[in-house]
Amino acid sequence: MGHLQRDIQRCPRVAVYGTLKQGQHNHYWLNGAPLLGNDCLTAITLYDLGHYPGAKAEASAGSVVEVYTINTEQLALLDQLEGYNAHAPKEGLYNRVILTTRHGEAWCYLYNSEVKHEALIENGEW
Protein backbone atom coordinates (compact mmCIF):
# COMPACT_ATOMS: atom_id res chain seq x y z
CA MET A 1 0.00 0.00 0.00
CA GLY A 2 1.41 3.40 -0.98
CA HIS A 3 2.05 6.36 1.32
CA LEU A 4 -0.99 8.27 0.05
CA GLN A 5 -3.24 5.26 0.51
CA ARG A 6 -2.15 4.87 4.17
CA ASP A 7 -2.65 8.62 4.75
CA ILE A 8 -6.23 8.66 3.53
CA GLN A 9 -7.14 5.51 5.47
CA ARG A 10 -5.70 7.05 8.60
CA CYS A 11 -7.58 10.31 8.10
CA PRO A 12 -10.26 10.55 5.38
CA ARG A 13 -11.22 14.15 6.22
CA VAL A 14 -9.87 17.62 5.51
CA ALA A 15 -10.43 20.87 7.43
CA VAL A 16 -10.33 23.94 5.15
CA TYR A 17 -10.20 27.59 6.17
CA GLY A 18 -9.66 29.66 3.01
CA THR A 19 -10.20 29.44 -0.73
CA LEU A 20 -11.51 25.86 -0.48
CA LYS A 21 -14.50 26.89 1.64
CA GLN A 22 -18.00 27.13 0.18
CA GLY A 23 -18.41 30.25 -1.96
CA GLN A 24 -14.65 30.65 -2.49
CA HIS A 25 -12.88 30.30 -5.85
CA ASN A 26 -11.15 26.95 -5.15
CA HIS A 27 -14.15 25.18 -3.62
CA TYR A 28 -14.62 23.17 -6.84
CA TRP A 29 -11.58 21.07 -5.79
CA LEU A 30 -13.93 19.52 -3.19
CA ASN A 31 -16.76 18.71 -5.67
CA GLY A 32 -18.55 15.60 -4.45
CA ALA A 33 -16.93 15.66 -1.01
CA PRO A 34 -19.57 15.54 1.72
CA LEU A 35 -19.48 18.49 4.11
CA LEU A 36 -19.53 17.18 7.68
CA GLY A 37 -19.92 20.65 9.15
CA ASN A 38 -18.04 23.60 10.60
CA ASP A 39 -15.76 23.90 13.59
CA CYS A 40 -13.77 26.60 15.33
CA LEU A 41 -10.22 25.37 16.00
CA THR A 42 -8.17 26.98 18.76
CA ALA A 43 -4.99 25.09 17.73
CA ILE A 44 -4.44 27.29 14.64
CA THR A 45 -4.20 30.99 13.87
CA LEU A 46 -5.00 32.46 10.46
CA TYR A 47 -2.95 35.09 8.64
CA ASP A 48 -3.93 37.12 5.58
CA LEU A 49 -1.42 36.35 2.81
CA GLY A 50 -3.17 38.51 0.23
CA HIS A 51 -5.08 36.27 -2.19
CA TYR A 52 -5.43 33.48 0.37
CA PRO A 53 -4.92 32.84 4.08
CA GLY A 54 -2.32 30.73 5.81
CA ALA A 55 -2.72 28.90 9.10
CA LYS A 56 0.03 28.47 11.66
CA ALA A 57 0.05 26.00 14.58
CA GLU A 58 -0.47 28.73 17.16
CA ALA A 59 -3.15 28.98 19.84
CA SER A 60 -5.99 31.35 19.01
CA ALA A 61 -9.49 32.32 20.10
CA GLY A 62 -10.61 30.10 17.21
CA SER A 63 -10.28 29.74 13.46
CA VAL A 64 -13.36 28.73 11.47
CA VAL A 65 -12.98 25.63 9.28
CA GLU A 66 -15.25 23.45 7.15
CA VAL A 67 -14.65 19.71 7.48
CA TYR A 68 -15.16 17.39 4.49
CA THR A 69 -14.86 13.67 3.88
CA ILE A 70 -12.39 13.13 1.03
CA ASN A 71 -10.89 10.29 -0.99
CA THR A 72 -7.36 9.46 -2.13
CA GLU A 73 -7.66 11.33 -5.41
CA GLN A 74 -8.96 14.48 -3.72
CA LEU A 75 -6.14 14.39 -1.17
CA ALA A 76 -3.57 14.12 -3.98
CA LEU A 77 -5.16 17.08 -5.79
CA LEU A 78 -5.26 19.17 -2.61
CA ASP A 79 -1.59 18.37 -2.01
CA GLN A 80 -0.82 19.79 -5.46
CA LEU A 81 -2.95 22.89 -4.93
CA GLU A 82 -1.37 23.60 -1.54
CA GLY A 83 2.21 22.97 -2.67
CA TYR A 84 2.65 20.11 -0.20
CA ASN A 85 5.85 18.11 -0.65
CA ALA A 86 5.40 14.64 0.91
CA HIS A 87 9.15 13.93 0.74
CA ALA A 88 10.10 17.20 2.45
CA PRO A 89 6.94 18.55 4.16
CA LYS A 90 8.61 21.60 5.69
CA GLU A 91 9.99 22.69 2.31
CA GLY A 92 6.69 23.04 0.45
CA LEU A 93 4.40 26.06 0.58
CA TYR A 94 2.19 24.22 3.07
CA ASN A 95 2.65 21.23 5.35
CA ARG A 96 -0.20 18.76 5.90
CA VAL A 97 -0.95 17.83 9.53
CA ILE A 98 -3.74 16.06 11.37
CA LEU A 99 -5.86 18.19 13.70
CA THR A 100 -8.72 17.15 15.94
CA THR A 101 -12.09 18.61 14.98
CA ARG A 102 -15.59 18.03 16.35
CA HIS A 103 -16.08 15.81 13.27
CA GLY A 104 -13.02 13.66 14.00
CA GLU A 105 -9.40 13.94 12.93
CA ALA A 106 -8.86 15.90 9.72
CA TRP A 107 -5.96 16.91 7.54
CA CYS A 108 -5.24 20.62 7.60
CA TYR A 109 -2.67 22.55 5.58
CA LEU A 110 -0.36 24.79 7.62
CA TYR A 111 1.68 27.57 6.05
CA ASN A 112 5.43 26.88 6.18
CA SER A 113 6.87 30.40 5.76
CA GLU A 114 7.25 33.13 8.36
CA VAL A 115 4.30 35.46 8.96
CA LYS A 116 6.15 38.40 10.55
CA HIS A 117 4.68 40.94 8.13
CA GLU A 118 1.30 39.35 7.38
CA ALA A 119 -1.87 40.57 9.05
CA LEU A 120 -3.40 38.38 11.74
CA ILE A 121 -7.02 37.45 10.99
CA GLU A 122 -8.31 38.24 14.46
CA ASN A 123 -11.89 37.03 14.00
CA GLY A 124 -10.62 33.64 12.77
CA GLU A 125 -12.59 33.68 9.53
CA TRP A 126 -11.24 34.46 6.09
Q: What positions carry a catalytic annotation?
A: 82
How far apart are the C-alpha atoms of 40 and 6, rounded to whole Å? 27
By three-state DSSP, how is residue 101 classified?
Answer: strand
Contact between 126 and 51 under an 8 Å Cβ cutoff? The reply is no
DSSP 40-96: EETT-EEEE-SSSEEEES---S-EEEEEEE--HHHHHHHHHHHT--TTSTTTSSEEE
Type of residue found at 95: N
**Residues comprising the chain, all counted:** 126
